[in-house]
Amino acid sequence: MLTRPLRVVVLLSGRGSNLRAIVEAALPIEIVAVIGNRPQAPGLAYARESGLPTFALDHTAYADRVAFDARLADEIERHRPGLVVLAGYMRILSPAFIERFEGRLLNIHPSLLPAFPGLKTHERALAEGVKIHGCTVHFVTATLDHGPIVAQAAVPVRADDTPAVLADRVLAQEHRIYPQAIRWFAEDRLVHDGGKVNLAGGSGSQSVLTV
């Protein structure tokens, strides 16, 4: 049983829909800071309206990625988080940053990794003619979008899909599985085993949610 909520820092760049899903899930966590690299990000406005501590750190004010990430890491550490959550954070993280938080750094990606890492995942899925698409929660490592998988959700790809329509269907599943993955982390149920993540109390296989 948890004696106190898990301290969580959320990083975002945009509208904050995954942050909203996390907040509304009423998880056993305390969001101690929401940090955005774009001062005008709607997600920061939502966080402020929700009474969450916010901090805007404009990446364009720094000479390079390493300098920005060092400042960002210092700001995160100030809040003493047990978990750092990337919720639509649209920047590639430097190796030094990842090393500093590895094992307590979660991301959600809009594809069924290892398929379609990087950007424009929905356009690429449609171009390849795949029949299922989806999203993945994973731990962040130095290899872009290839960290150990915590949970996935699949959606059907329909013949009349556009990238926007498919993105909306995937986003609904992001809002479902990201809070669940964070809950598992907070409950200390995620077990690392040889580069894979198993769910304690489950079947011993990777945790996969499908629809």
What are the structural domains, with CATH classification, of the chain?
Answer: 1-101 (3.40.50.170), 108-211 (3.40.50.170)
CB neighbours of 11 closer than 8 A, spacing ≥ 6? 34, 35, 36, 37, 72, 84, 85, 86, 87, 89
The rounded mean pLDDT for the chain is 94
Report angle CA 59, 60, 65 to the nearest 5 degrees: 55
Whether cis (ω within 30° of 0) applies to the bond prior to 163 is no
Give pLDDT, residue 166.
98
User: Which of these is catalytic: 59, 79, 109, 133?
Assistant: 109
Segments in the chain below pLDDT 70? 1-3, 202-211
Give pLDDT, residue 2.
47
175 is catalytic: no
Give pLDDT, residue 206.
46
Give pLDDT, residue 210.
52
The span from the CA of 172 to the CA of 193, in Å, is 29
Distance from the Cα of residue 211 to its chain's centroid: 20
The span from the CA of 208 to the CA of 149, in Å, is 9
